[in-house]
Amino acid sequence: MMSIRKTAINILAAALCIMLIVYADISVSAAANAVDRCVNILIPSLFVFLAASNILIRSKAYKILSLPFYPIAKYVFKIPYELFSVLLISNLAGFPVGASMLVELTKQNIIDKKTASLLQCICYGGGPSFAVGVIGIYLYSDIRVGLIICLSAFLANITAALIICRALKPKIKGNDKKRPFTCEELIISTENAGRSMLMICAMVIIFSVILACVERLICVYVHIPLQAKTLLKSIFEISSIASLENARIAFVPVISALFSFGGVCVLLQIIATVKGRYSLTPFFVTRLPIALINYLYARLLCSHLIDDAQYCMAVGKGFTVKFNNFIPSLCLILMIFLLLFKKGVAFFDDM
């Protein structure tokens, strides 16, 4: 069985190499567009949340943030109150943030693997930056669309949390050892966020290139409408939705469901973040049902908040590197590299 898997991987890798050579122009263009999305969307909106969430766990501040929600956590969700802030932050910060926080809690022996596995099902959200900034404002020129998508995703996860937490009752170990939060902890948190950010951007770039090559290959034999093509690509890489043209209001529930699903690229990012520290089987099993709940919420909200006959056109044809985002993001990338290679580059013993 293992040899068959290795053979299949080798065949796919060889096929990708051939496509990269045959469709070199498409590959370069797709990579450039993916880098634009990383610089203008992912890094500015996600890096700070990754670092801040790591700091919250390492400094134990997540407990303080959870205190106001103690009654709701204990009596409504049946979840240890300390974990309620993790649930909220992971739904508002960005897809890999929840996994990053759960990994840190597991590493510090605060929760067991079973609890982390259960919480991963509901500690997963795209955050408002992408939903409001890209989908709402960029695609629809209407902030209400972005807010509907955010609210639908949040309500879908909350609905799932009510079912999962009350039925399976996640627990906390209580082995949380107190230790002072120092500058070294801050550096470690920033370094962890940098590693995660580099992994996320790399995954987005490689997926964008693969999808562009596959799209060119398929289009030789099959004609697919542009909008359907963009939605299909978003199943694999959610930021591809930014290239959707003539975005109609009727698409909002579908886009919201895709946003809740996250895309295959994001799922692989979660796998890379968790690194086998706990089982992701419940997470994968619940993704489609939660996406369906999201679709229903979005459809309900759209019917009440936006006229079905309303029609909005996409503002642009694609992202361009914006100066105000590009320079800070470039500086941030340089600082990440300094942190990642501090032993060999920035922090020699004799400096």
In DSSP notation, 109-134 reads TSS-HHHHHHHHTTS----HIIIIII
Round the average pLDDT of the chain to a whole number and report it.
Answer: 80
Highest mean pLDDT among 23-27, 37-41, 156-160, 216-220 belongs to: 156-160
What 3-state class would DSSP assign to 24?
helix
What gap in Å lies between CA 292 and CA 168, rounded to an integer?
22
Confirm whether 6 is domain-assigned.
no
Confirm whether 73 is domain-assigned.
yes
What gap in Å lies between CA 329 and CA 342, rounded to an integer?
19
**pLDDT for the residue numbered 298:** 94
pLDDT band at 2 (very low <50, low <70, confident <90, very high): low
- Residue of higher predicted confidence among 73 and 246: 73
Confirm whether 17 is domain-assigned.
no
**pLDDT for the residue numbered 156:** 95
Confirm whether 8 is domain-assigned.
no
**pLDDT for the residue numbered 178:** 61
**pLDDT for the residue numbered 210:** 86
**pLDDT for the residue numbered 324:** 44
Q: Is the pLDDT of residue 57 over 80?
A: yes
What gap in Å lies between CA 164 and CA 33, rounded to an integer?
39
Cβ distance 84 to 72 under 8 Å? yes
Tokens matching residue 259 = 């946003």
The predicted-structure confidence for 249-308, as pLDDT tens digits, reads as follows 888 999 999 999 988 888 988 988 898 899 999 999 999 999 999 999 999 999 888 865
The predicted-structure confidence for 68-117, as pLDDT tens digits, reads as follows 999 999 899 989 998 999 999 888 877 888 898 899 899 888 899 999 99
Count of domains observed in the chain: 1
**pLDDT for the residue numbered 174:** 65
Cβ distance 251 to 223 under 8 Å? no
Confirm whether 222 is domain-assigned.
yes
The predicted-structure confidence for 161-202, as pLDDT tens digits, reads as follows 999 998 888 888 765 556 666 777 778 888 888 888 888 888
**pLDDT for the residue numbered 346:** 42
The whole domain housing 115 covers 24-342
**pLDDT for the residue numbered 320:** 37
What gap in Å lies between CA 70 and CA 72, rounded to an integer?
6
What gap in Å lies between CA 288 and CA 218, rounded to an integer?
26
Q: How far, in Å, are 189, 193, 349 from residue 345 at the CA level?
A: 19, 19, 11
Confirm whether 197 is domain-assigned.
yes
**pLDDT for the residue numbered 181:** 65
pLDDT band at 329 (very low <50, low <70, confident <90, very high): very low
**pLDDT for the residue numbered 177:** 59
Confirm whether 347 is domain-assigned.
no
Question: What number of other Cβ atoms are within 10 A of residue 166's Cβ?
Answer: 12
**pLDDT for the residue numbered 211:** 83
Residue 134, burial from CB neighbour count under 10 angstroms (0-12, 13-18, 19+): buried
pTM of the entire predicted model: 0.78
Residues 330, 336, 341, 342, CA torsion sign: positive
**pLDDT for the residue numbered 239:** 79
Residue with tokens 């590693």: 195
**pLDDT for the residue numbered 183:** 75
DSSP state of 15: H
- Residue of higher predicted confidence among 305 and 333: 305
**pLDDT for the residue numbered 303:** 87
**pLDDT for the residue numbered 179:** 61
- Mean local confidence (pLDDT), 300-327: 55
Cβ distance 275 to 102 under 8 Å? no
Confirm whether 251 is domain-assigned.
yes
Q: Is the pLDDT of residue 310 over 70?
A: no
The residues, any chain, with a CB within 8 Å of residue 305's CB and separated by 6 or more, are 144, 148
Cβ distance 28 to 209 under 8 Å? no
**pLDDT for the residue numbered 308:** 56
**pLDDT for the residue numbered 149:** 93
